[in-house]
């Protein structure tokens, strides 16, 4: 069956124009169609495994743009993840990526690793922060880690303001829990304002997309089963994510990972249709928002559409329309608002030169609009965009919920 699916590739080349890495490198080996043909040859035992083959398969954003553009309906995403798993088994992984996988595979390890990193941020001399980079991001521009993990700082059940209208589950993901608590606080504030009871499952952990992307499927399954167990037992109107990549995991990858006889399959299939990104949810219930009439000064902003928002959740248009509807906003669109920024999970770290070229183009487009705020609903995109801008650029990079919450009337 897998071979038949790969044979469906007509080599038409539509994926080339969609692929951000190919558009940057202009090398056939970087194209999705080339990767599919290499995978096919490997499966047919006409191509030997090698470190070079692993490099070719790994030089990918895992953005889903090729799948979205494919007229044959090929699921490049799953094919690339499976091939990455085989390449890691054959040739191993870099120490940095192995360490990341080890930490993310267990919540207590993640918490410990973040604690060490937080302490490092506090004691690091300014000269070192200015000199060294994490991938393409200078350490001085790296966001400060949350003083307290977000889920630890909040109750598991948060009551709404005013008359209750429903109940939602909030899957915070790793970024909100450890890095961007402003996103989490704004999300809770908006939902309470709308009248929703918010449940933040304490047992949730990493969605495991980073592990799956790096071929560590077996190590990811523990987290995945933990999340399914934490989510399926709760009754709510929706499962909300503030990160479109987490949404991709819960909505699409989880059901794909289990065989028909696995007891977790039914639970994953039950969870998937309940998963909604926070911007789509706000847009759907926009009538529940009351904006502060005292706020008369409008904020000028633009929006960067993350790849998974565009390709997987398909809510790019919803996010833009929502921002345009806000009474406190003057919205301007960049010509490349839906083009990849080069973050791509760990892509900015593994291939900093390629990523840097991509993000610099985005920054120039945003600066040309002379806006003050740049919004995006992906934490890695936010990290990459903010990490490569300077104060002189005049751009504050935030999740859209931050500005939405700031514009609401206090009730």
In a structure prediction context, what are the per-residue pLDDT tens digits for the chain, which is 411 residues long? 444 466 778 888 899 999 999 999 999 999 999 999 999 999 999 999 999 999 999 999 998 889 888 888 888 888 898 999 999 999 999 999 999 999 999 999 999 999 999 999 989 888 888 888 999 999 999 999 999 999 999 999 999 988 899 999 999 999 999 999 999 999 999 999 999 999 999 999 999 999 999 999 999 999 999 999 999 989 999 999 999 999 999 999 999 888 777 888 999 999 999 999 999 999 999 999 999 999 888 999 999 999 988 887 777 788 899 999 999 999 999 999 999 999 998 999 999 999 999 999 999 999 999 999 999 999 999 999 999 999 999 999 999 999 999 999 987
Which CATH number is correct for 2-90, 1.10.760.10, 1.10.10.10, 3.90.1010.10, 1.10.1060.10? 1.10.1060.10
- For 107-215, strand residue ranges (E) read 133-134, 137-138, 157-158, 166-171, 196-199
Q: Please, is 132 exposed, middle or buried when counting C-beta atoms within 10 Å of its C-beta (0-12, 13-18, 19+)? A: exposed
Instruction: Give the whole-angstrom CA distance, residue 133 versus residue 120.
Output: 14
3-class DSSP state for residue 219?
helix
Q: Cα–Cα distance between 187 and 404 in angstroms, integer?
A: 9
Q: Which two tokens stand for residue 354?
A: 């390629």
- For the chain, report the end-to-end CA distance as a whole number of angstroms: 57
CATH number, domain 289-406: 3.40.50.1860
The angle formed by the CA atoms of residues 65, 69 and 70, to the nearest 5 degrees, is 115
Strand ranges of the sheet holding 396-398, from the earlier edge strand across to the other edge: 329-331, 299-303, 373-375, 396-398
- The residues, any chain, with a CB within 8 Å of residue 99's CB and separated by 6 or more, are none
Supply 353's token pair: 């030169």
Please provide the DSSP assignment of 357-370 as one string.
HHHHHHHHHHHHTT
* CB-based burial label for 127 (10 Å; 0-12, 13-18, 19+): exposed
Check residue 5 and give its pLDDT.
67
Beta strands (DSSP E) in 249-321 are 275-277, 299-303
The residue extents of the domains of the chain are 2-90, 289-406
d(CA 82, CA 68): 19
Give pLDDT, residue 2.
47
Q: Say how far apart CA 287 and CA 376 lie, in whole Å.
A: 23
């Amino acid at each position: 069956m897998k071979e038949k699916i790969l044979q469906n590739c007509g080599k038409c080349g539509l994926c080339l124009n969609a692929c951000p890495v190919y558009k940057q490198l202009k090398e056939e080996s970087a194209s999705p169609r080339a990767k599919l043909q290499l995978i096919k040859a490997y499966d047919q035992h006409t191509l030997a495994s090698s470190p070079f083959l692993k490099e070719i398969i790994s030089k990918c954003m895992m953005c889903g743009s090729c799948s979205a553009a494919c007229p044959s309906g090929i699921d490049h995403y799953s094919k690339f993840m499976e091939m990455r798993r085989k390449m890691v088994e054959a040739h191993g992984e870099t120490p940095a990526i192995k360490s990341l996988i080890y930490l993310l595979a267990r919540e207590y390890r993640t918490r410990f690793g973040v604690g060490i990193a937080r302490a490092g941020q506090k004691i690091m001399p300014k000269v070192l922060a200015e000199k060294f980079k994490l991938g393409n991001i200078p350490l001085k521009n790296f966001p400060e880690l949350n003083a307290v993990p977000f889920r630890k700082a909040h109750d598991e059940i948060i009551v709404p303001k005013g008359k209750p209208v429903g109940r939602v589950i909030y899957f915070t993901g790793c970024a909100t829990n450890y890095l961007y608590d402003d996103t989490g606080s704004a999300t809770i504030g908006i939902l309470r304002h709308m009248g929703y009871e918010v449940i933040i499952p304490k047992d949730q952990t990493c969605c495991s997309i980073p592990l799956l992307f790096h071929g560590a499927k077996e190590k990811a399954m523990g987290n995945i089963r933990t999340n399914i167990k934490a989510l399926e037992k709760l009754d709510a109107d929706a499962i909300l994510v503030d990160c479109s990549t987490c949404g991709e995991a819960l909505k699409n990858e989880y059901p794909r990972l289990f065989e028909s006889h696995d007891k977790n399959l039914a639970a994953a299939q039950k969870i998937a249709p309940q998963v909604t990104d926070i911007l789509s949810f706000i847009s759907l219930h926009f009538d529940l928002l009351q904006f502060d009439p005292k706020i008369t000064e409008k904020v000028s902003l633009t929006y960067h559409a993350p790849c998974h928002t565009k390709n997987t959740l398909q809510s790019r248009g919803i996010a833009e329309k929502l921002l345009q509807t806000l009474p406190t906003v003057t919205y301007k669109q960049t010509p490349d608002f839906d083009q990849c920024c080069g973050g791509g999970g760990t892509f900015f770290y593994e291939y900093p030169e390629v990523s840097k070229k991509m993000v610099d183009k985005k920054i120039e487009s945003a600066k040309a609009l002379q806006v003050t705020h740049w919004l995006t609903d992906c934490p890695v995109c936010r990290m990459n965009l903010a990490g490569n801008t300077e104060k002189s650029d005049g751009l504050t990079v935030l999740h859209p919920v931050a500005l939405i919450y700031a514009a609401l009337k206090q009730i």
